[in-house]
Structure 1
Amino acid sequence: MSRRAIVTGAAGGIGLAVARALVARGDRVVLADRDERRLAEAAADLGQPHLAADVATDDGIEALVALADLEMGGVDMYVANAGVFRGFGLESSEDDWATSLQVNTMAHVRAARALVPRWVDGDGGIFAVTASAAGLLTQLGSPTYSVSKHAAVGFAEWLAATYGDRGVQVCCLCPMGVRTPMVEGGQTHDDGDARLGHKAVATAGEVMEADDVAQVLLDAIDAKRFLALPHTDVAKMYAQKASDPDRWLSGMQRYRTSLES
């Protein structure tokens, strides 16, 4: 049975890879992104409808769901993938904090408000979140990214605990480095904390291809697992953090020092 999905942040990277994988499975997808030109190209390539919208706003979510209802007759899956990686060190601005929290966390909340009630009253649905290993561990260099991704994981956990037995399947994708323009573009940043953040992403483990990460997400959804972990070492690190946080923090400090040298 084919699904009717919305994928945000779908003009490139993980979002486009997820949309491409869904279409290959026979699903219909509405693609969303703020980059209108790249989004239109991606949607044309896949032969799917699209909307250039700010999914961190209620108006953006409302317009996106309305388009999905019009084009596909409903929504069975929502992939909250849009994200930003900005704000480095304690010098992160108020705007950096606000934007990170709105896009990386509150966009998920607003989408859930729009879709979860109809799923509970209807035939159910799937709410998938692209968080990050930073949401389970931390993100060196960027407090805004770390905090907003922790919040994204926390919201996904709450959603699963509250609605997971009421017809709403929740899946939380937490990769480390993925080969996307966002990751590759920060290696030569002028800000030292920014370089640290990007270097940590690029060197913490294998930098995976977006298509492989998308497949891990879909496999986790098929298996009805909450966590989708493309980098298997994340599970081990997460367990170590929980069992001995002081030792884990000491290790993170050593890792930070090695990246700064």
Structure 2
Amino acid sequence: MVVGDFSLKDKIAVVTGGGSDLKLTPEAEGLVKTSNDHLAFATCDVSNWSDLKALPTRVTEAFGPNTIADVWIAGAGVFEPKWSSFLADTEEAHYKQMAINAEHPMKLTRIAMRSCLGADKPGVVLIVASGAGITGSYGCPIYCASKHAVVGFTKSLAQADADEDFKVVCILPGMVSTPLWTGEQARAVHEQYSYTDDVCITPKKVAEAMVEMVQLGKYRGGSLMEVAKGNLRGELESRQSVVVTGPEEKEWADRCYGPIREVFGRERGGAGKGANGVH
């Protein structure tokens, strides 16, 4: 049992970071207003788990009772803000950049799985990482660490596609022409990180690759795709610690994955949960 081909037609998607911030940009606000009720906006601080856990309820409020999101995009992220960088180091208790870039995609995936399993339906999570998830940079070590974290997380959930009919994949864009680089507050980092329009790809190109990863069955759970200038479709290896191919591997997998399968089995079909699949 794998998700396989998964058309987006008539599907509901949750996208964190879709408004570019905790509030809509003027462009996003105009899109919502003219969407004929096909789009809805909900304020969500992705570093606040209460906001994330409320998303299934926000879906039903926007699109009707018993509606469940089919696709979940972990798109919100920040790039080395001074308040949460390794060099400025102004935060006392933690690096919030890790909560936004790494913890939020993991928690969103868990919420998505509960929601889809509760409705006994397949689902897809696509995590927006970065090319920094497979390389390092002395200039932005926490950002790189946060993106490495979600790449490893995606690889680790490959088995959920076969076991639970739930696919988790990850896209790794290079520099993209978004407000992260083009906005007023980003000008200070242009020279430091050698930003130019020539090295950037467009948001449209990234979106097209994301649609492919969600819809096409050839991108199975655990798949990684790098999208960068001159390398629009660079599929990366997603190596597993154990590949189940024979009786010995199956015996190992049954023993190792048994407790995980037991938890998901209890969650499937809505046992012990509300209609939106959240405790």
**Taking structure 2 as the reference length, what is the TM-score of the superposition?**
0.66
Q: Who is 1:46 aligned against?
A: 35
Deviation at 1:138, TM superposition (A): 2.6
Question: In structure 2, do the counterparts of structure 1 residues 237 and 114 end up closer, same or farther at CA, with 3 Å as the change threshold?
Answer: closer
Counterpart secondary structure, 2:95 = helix
- Identity %, equivalent residues: 21
Q: Who is 2:246 aligned against?
A: none
Which 10-residue stretch deviates more, 82-91 or 207-216? 82-91
Structure 1 letter corresponding to 2:114: P
Q: Who is 1:123 aligned against?
A: 121
Cα-to-partner distance string for 1:13-45 (whole Å, 9 max, x where unaligned): xxxxxxxxxxxxxxxxxxxx5124645444224
Deviation at 1:111, TM superposition (A): 1.1
Counterpart secondary structure, 1:146 = helix
Structure 1 letter corresponding to 2:53: E
Structure 2 counterparts to residues 52-131 of structure 1, below 5 A: 52-72=43-63, 73-87=67-81, 90-93=86-89, 95=91, 98-121=95-118, 122-131=120-129
Deviation at 1:198, TM superposition (A): 3.2
Deviation at 1:131, TM superposition (A): 0.3
Q: Is residue 133–residue 234 contact of structure 1 (8 Å, CA) maintained in 2? A: no
Question: In structure 2, do the counterparts of structure 1 residues 208 and 51 end up closer, same or farther at CA, with 3 Å as the change threshold?
Answer: same
Counterpart secondary structure, 1:198 = coil
Cα-to-partner distance string for 1:33-66 (whole Å, 9 max, x where unaligned): 5124645444224341110111222211122221
- Which of residues 11, 16, 21 in structure 1 aligns to 2:19? 11
Q: Who is 2:158 aligned against?
A: 160
Deviation at 1:94, TM superposition (A): 5.2
Relative to its length, the structure with more helix (as a share) is 1
**Taking structure 1 as the reference length, what is the TM-score of the superposition?**
0.70
- Which of residues 157, 163, 168 in structure 2 aligns to 1:170? 168
Q: Who is 1:222 aligned against?
A: 215
Q: Is residue 132–residue 147 contact of structure 2 (8 Å, CA) maintained in 1? A: yes
Question: In structure 2, do the counterparts of structure 1 residues 98 and 46 end up closer, same or farther at CA, with 3 Å as the change threshold?
Answer: farther
Distance 1:45 1:103 in 2: 30
Distance 1:99 1:238 in 2: 29
Q: Is residue 11–residue 42 contact of structure 1 (8 Å, CA) maintained in 2? A: no
Counterpart secondary structure, 2:227 = coil
Deviation at 1:118, TM superposition (A): 3.4
Which structure has the greater CA radius of gyration? 2
Counterpart secondary structure, 2:174 = coil
Deviation at 1:86, TM superposition (A): 1.7
Q: Is residue 179–residue 208 contact of structure 1 (8 Å, CA) maintained in 2? A: yes
Distance 1:36 1:213 in 2: 20
Structure 2 letter corresponding to 1:71: A
CA RMSD of aligned residues (A): 2.9
Question: In structure 2, do the counterparts of structure 1 residues 184 and 40 end up closer, same or farther at CA, with 3 Å as the change threshold?
Answer: closer
Q: Who is 1:198 aligned against?
A: 193
Q: Unaligned 5+ residue runs, structure 2?
A: 1-8, 238-279
- Which of residues 143, 157, 164 in structure 2 aligns to 1:145? 143
